Amino acid sequence: MGVIALDRLEVRLGGRTVLNGLTGELRGHAVGLLGPNGAGKSTLINTLLGFHDPAGGSAKVLGLDARTDRMRIRQSVGYMPENDSFIGNMNGVRFVRYMAELSGLPPAAALERAHEALFYVGLGEVRYRKISTYSLGMKQLIKLAQALAHGPKLLILDEPTNGLDPTARQRMVQLIKEIRKEGSMHMLISSHLLRDIDETCDEVLILNKGRIAAISNIEEERRSHRNFIEMEMTGKTEAFAEKMKAMGCECARFAGGRVKVVMPDALSQRDLYMAAAETGAEIRRIQTRRDSLEDIFLRAMEYDGGQPRGPQQQVFVAGVKG
């Protein structure tokens, strides 16, 4: 069973369709949620938490229906919102204890877990200070502490590194990695920063215009990715791509004359130059590199509806694209 299962999920807000027919199952231990502004990331999170009722289809979290089992879902989920959200008049330990008690912990256990969670995220020394006096980084950490305190099965982090300086960001990323490594809970991490997702997640869900643009297992991608050659070309790149495909290569074309090629072992770079000469294309720049999450994301952004791409399709689309 997946952590999150979406079946033709449709959400309408103010008469506008924000999520449109999302279907997919997320099984990863740490799932990244990517997409440009307005893609529907926060709406999806709010729907999973039961704040928005689906207009159609269904969403399941840990096997529980988001429409009918919202209280049981919230019991099992720790949520760290993107924006400032706390009670500034309370000190750290009281706030985290309050949130833990709301999640069902008895008062004594909540107090114990609040202390532990605050030490765990590195706020042990300031836990008796009012939250309103915390720095931005501390405020992010206390949101993480309250999300962790009741021992959730799924941790939803909405832009956890938002507004953090490089040191605080690194600390947050390290914490997320440790939680993932500990292995007792799943994570759904929404972020604009591909690097954060790349470092912390093993699966990624990319949304674009309210639709799923890609679901990709980053770990599998990393394992399956061979080195590829990226070129900037002018001239007849389409014919070049067809030629490479005929030679047994996987080839993808992008805007601006960028072409990526994965070659069989039998071929060498010399064959590239020869193919370019034969097809009337010119290679302006060439470099060998590995596919990155950024490539997956950019390709997904070019995608315009229909079925989301599977792992093999997103890495290298055989033939011409673009």
Partner 1 sequence: MSVFQHDYRPYEGPTTALWKRPLVLARYGLAEAWGSKITVGLGVLALLPCVVDLVLMYLADNPVAKMLVVGGSKVLEINERFFLGVMETQCWFALVLAAWIAPRLVSFDLGDNALPILLSHPVSRFGYVLGKFIALTLSLSYVTWIPLLVLFVYQSYASPVPWVMGHLGIAFGMFAGATVWIILLSLIGLAVASWVKWRVIATGAMFAVIFVPAGVGAIASTVLRTKWGMLLNFPVVMSELWQRLVGAPSILPNRVDLPNLAIAAVLIAASLACVAVLNARIRAREVVRG
Q: Is 227 in the site for partner 1 (CB under 8 A)?
A: no
Q: Of 20 and 46, which has the nearer Cβ to partner 1?
A: 46
Taking residue 165's Cβ as centre, other Cβ atoms within 10 Å add up to 12
CA nearest neighbour of 144 among 169, 167, 109, 107: 169
Q: Quick one: which of 146, 191, 216, 314 contacts partner 1 (CB under 8 A)?
A: 146
Among positions 193-222, residues that touch partner 1 (CB under 8 A) are none
Question: What does the alpha-carbon distance between residue 121 and residue 102 come to, in Å, rounded to a whole number?
Answer: 20
Q: Quick one: which of 25, 165, 178, 278 contacts partner 1 (CB under 8 A)?
A: 178
Q: Is 273 in the site for partner 1 (CB under 8 A)?
A: no
Residue 124 CB, nearest approach to partner 1 (Å): 7
Residue 21 CB, nearest approach to partner 1 (Å): 22
Q: Of 105 and 276, which has the nearer Cβ to partner 1?
A: 105
Mode of pairing for the β-strands spanning 258-262 and 228-235: antiparallel
> Three-class SS of residue 28?
coil
Q: Of 90 and 320, which has the nearer Cβ to partner 1?
A: 90
Among positions 106-125, residues that touch partner 1 (CB under 8 A) are 106, 109, 113, 115-117, 119-120, 124
Residue 52 CB, nearest approach to partner 1 (Å): 8
Q: Is 246 in the site for partner 1 (CB under 8 A)?
A: no
Task: Spell out the residues 6+ positions from residue 156 whose beta carbon is closer than 8 angstroms to its own.
Answer: 45, 48, 49, 77, 78, 79, 80, 147, 187, 188, 190
Q: Are 314 and 320 in contact (CB under 8 A)?
A: no
Number of amino acids touching partner 1 (CB under 8 A):
48
> Three-class SS of residue 194?
helix
Q: Of 167 and 184, which has the nearer Cβ to partner 1?
A: 184
From residue 311, how far is each of 126, 229, 262 by CA, in Å? 45, 19, 16
Among positions 301-320, residues that touch partner 1 (CB under 8 A) are none
Taking residue 60's Cβ as centre, other Cβ atoms within 10 Å add up to 21
Q: Quick one: which of 12, 36, 49, 320 contacts partner 1 (CB under 8 A)?
A: 49
CA nearest neighbour of 152 among 102, 202, 196: 102
Residue 13 CB, nearest approach to partner 1 (Å): 9
DSSP letter for each residue of 224-266: HPPPEEEEEEEE-HHHHHHHHHHTT-EEEE-GGGEEEEE--TT
Question: What does the alpha-carbon distance between residue 82 and residue 144 come to, in Å, rounded to a whole number?
Answer: 11
Q: Quick one: which of 25, 53, 68, 102 contacts partner 1 (CB under 8 A)?
A: 102
Residue 318 CB, nearest approach to partner 1 (Å): 41
Residue 240 CB, nearest approach to partner 1 (Å): 45
Residue type, 138: M
Q: Print the binding letters for residues 60-99 with partner 1: x by CB under 8 A, - otherwise.
A: -----------xx-xx-x-x-xxxxxxxxx--------xx
Q: Of 79 and 228, which has the nearer Cβ to partner 1?
A: 79
CA nearest neighbour of 147 among 92, 197, 96: 96
Question: What does the alpha-carbon distance between residue 273 and residue 25 come to, in Å, rounded to a whole number?
Answer: 43
Element (H, E) at 19: strand 16-26
- Return residues touching partner 1 (CB under 8 A): 42, 46, 49, 51-52, 71-72, 74-75, 77, 79, 81-89, 98-99, 101-106, 109, 113, 115-117, 119-120, 124, 131-132, 143, 146, 148, 150-151, 178-179, 182, 184-185
